[in-house]
Amino acid sequence: MTQMILYYVGMVLHILACLFLIGVVLLQQGKGQDLASAFGGGGTQAAFGPRGSANVLSRATTILAGVFMVTSLGLSLVRPRQASVLDRLPAAASTPAPAASAPAATTPAAPPATSAPAPAATPATK
């Protein structure tokens, strides 16, 4: 019972982290990577764009991404264990039926036919 409560609390926290992460990412302003900078218009910028101090939105993104990863791992550990579809099959269907006994053969079986002729016998030399 406790595991189910922990699972649902984790699920609610995971969904809230997902929704807030979407909102925080959409609220952030672009880093000046428009079409002009793709063709050399942003030549005065550093190689990977301007480095500024992390603002509230970027810190919130980092924290929410961490919460998302931790809740994902946590939910995979505490998920309710259920039987799979294969475990629900009846046991008789999974074992093969015994084969019927074949009647005893009264005549010997003929040797299999070969397509290549037998090699000729060579005379023995003394």
- pLDDT block averages, 10 residues each, the chain of length 126: 87 95 88 60 54 78 94 88 75 62 62 62 64
Query: d(Cα 78, Cα 6) in Å, to the nearest integer?
Result: 7
CB of 49 within 8 A of CB of 2? no
pLDDT of residue 15: 96
At 66, is the secondary structure helix, strand, or coil? helix
Q: What is the pTM of this model?
A: 0.51
pLDDT of residue 79: 82
Q: Which residues contact residue 68 at a Cβ distance below 8 angstroms, ignoring those fewer than 6 apart?
A: 14, 17, 18, 21
Query: d(Cα 4, Cα 65) in Å, to the nearest integer?
Result: 24
